[in-house]
Amino acid sequence: MYELHFAVPMAGAVLCTFNTRHDAPMVSALLKHSGAKVFLVESSLLDVGRAALKRLADSEPGAASIPVLVTISDDAGQDSGRAADYDYEGLIKSAPSEFDIRWPADELDPITLNYTSGTTSRPKGVVYNHRGAYLNTIGTVLAYDITPMPTYLWTVPMFHCNGWHLPWGVAMQGGTNVCLRHFTAALIFYSIARHGVTHMGGAPTVLNMIVNAPAADRRPLPGTVRVMTGGAPPPPRVLAEMEELGFAVYHIYGLTETYGPATVCTWMPEWDALPAEERARLKARQGFQHVAMEEVDVKDPTTMESVPRDGEAVGEVMFRGNTVMSGYYKDITATKESMGGGWLHTGDLAVRHPDGYIQLKDRAKDIIISGGENISSIEVESVIFSHPAVLEAAVVARPDDHWGETPCAFVKLKDGAIATEAEIIGFCRERLPHYMAPKTVVFEDLPKTSTGKTQKFVLREKARAMGSLTKTGNSSKL
């Protein structure tokens, strides 16, 4: 995938990376929506890939609509199988040694297509252009202090906003990439020590994994390791403990629609003298836009007026600039809705402090972020609703020591109907990627407003009061 971040644009094509945790129905839906002409699949995922192609062929008669399959052998050299159109390594060997790069005719031509939560009913494909990708790469490198000749440990999937643009960023600085298929805290410490890692990234769940690693899994750091974290607001406790271990944490914030990183909690030298808890509290804020983003603001979405910088007034985070998406692929209506008033509306609620730093307070659209993955509560609810015993359902986030959050479903059954927690969870796992299925199911009446709407804020409080489902140390692999 790292190679393809360069090869595909150089061929004049658009790169579209899929989440490796998607199941065949999801992959099939995204292949159809993207209109992909070539489908590259690693051997370990070939069963899912072939099943997706079969579903696509069954729904789209005619060979012209089915992409060419290129298989890739995995790290262990496992044969990818011969029942494919082409083999990746074979194509590389047979390719001419010299070729003409197909440069974009316009810098606003698309370079990548990235899907958000990937709902099967209405997938949102975010279009990045060459100009935005170039600028965001530079902005991220500067915000993250990626010095020349870094050694970067990959714990951020490259299908997430093109690896936060660091396939290009590490190459720009002449760096070395250390890529892991799966990782544990022990493997992270081992890789840092063995390869002299200088930079890495990861969602707060990865940081939590590191700080809770048993002593036997830890190794002394060869030097300061700079860690870029984002995807969810990191707990101040975790930030403080990372600092104690010798990591320098850079807190960033952004969305798929902003090419990934868009703000950074810029560190002020005078904060160095503050107590550790206060430093961690300040670092947990989302901060300012990086140099490549024109502007970030917290606004009243109705009046489009900026909220007071008092740390209390809540508004919606909005962006504008060259590193905001070109739009949603094949969805002009959604693009116009998200860009009202000339600003990208994020749906995230925040305050702005007197020093100008923004701080997230809630996610307006009830997105659940589990292990860095965005999960739509509405999509999970729709599956639960399809169970014959279910009358009503609502899904909210439950805090989790390992994953950050996990889906928690509140369900009301039909009169006389019977269903167990295990049955509901199993029902969802058969119809959704497993990480999207609820980990907890509570059977009770749902609180409603006078107009009949479910009061999710009440349910969020209940889920929060339950505490973590998994205790630190029980899970070691994402």
Compute mean pLDDT per 10 residues along the chain, 478 residues long, and list them: 96 94 90 95 94 90 81 67 76 89 96 75 85 97 95 92 95 96 91 97 84 91 94 75 92 94 94 89 91 96 96 92 97 94 92 93 73 78 85 89 92 90 95 92 82 74 90 47
Closest by CA position to 166, among listed 178, 152, 180: 152
Any idea where the domains of the chain sit in the sequence? 1-102, 104-365, 367-466
Please enumerate in sequence order all residues whose Cβ is within 8 A of that of 82, keeping only pairs 6 or more positions apart, or say none.
Answer: none
**Backbone dihedral region for residue 299 (phi beyond 0: left; psi -120 to 50: alpha; all else: beta):** beta
Q: Going by CATH, does the domain composed of 1-102 fall within 3.30.360.10?
A: no
User: Residue 122: its pLDDT value, please?
Assistant: 62
The two tokens of residue 112 are: 């990548």
pTM summary value = 0.79
Closest by CA position to 385, among listed 432, 433, 347: 432
User: Residue 476: its pLDDT value, please?
Assistant: 40
Distance, CA of 78 to CA of 173 (rounded, Å): 32
* CATH fold match for the domains 1-102 and 104-365: yes
User: Residue 382: its pLDDT value, please?
Assistant: 76
The amino acid occupying position 439 is K
Domain 104-365, CATH: 3.40.50.12780
User: Residue 450: its pLDDT value, please?
Assistant: 39
The two tokens of residue 351 are: 């305050």
User: Residue 284: its pLDDT value, please?
Assistant: 85
Largest Cα–Cα distance in the chain? 72
User: Residue 120: its pLDDT value, please?
Assistant: 40
- To which CATH superfamily is domain 367-466 assigned? ANL, C-terminal domain (3.30.300.30)
How many other C-beta atoms are found inside a 10 Å radius of the C-beta of residue 357?
20
How many other C-beta atoms are found inside a 10 Å radius of the C-beta of residue 312?
10
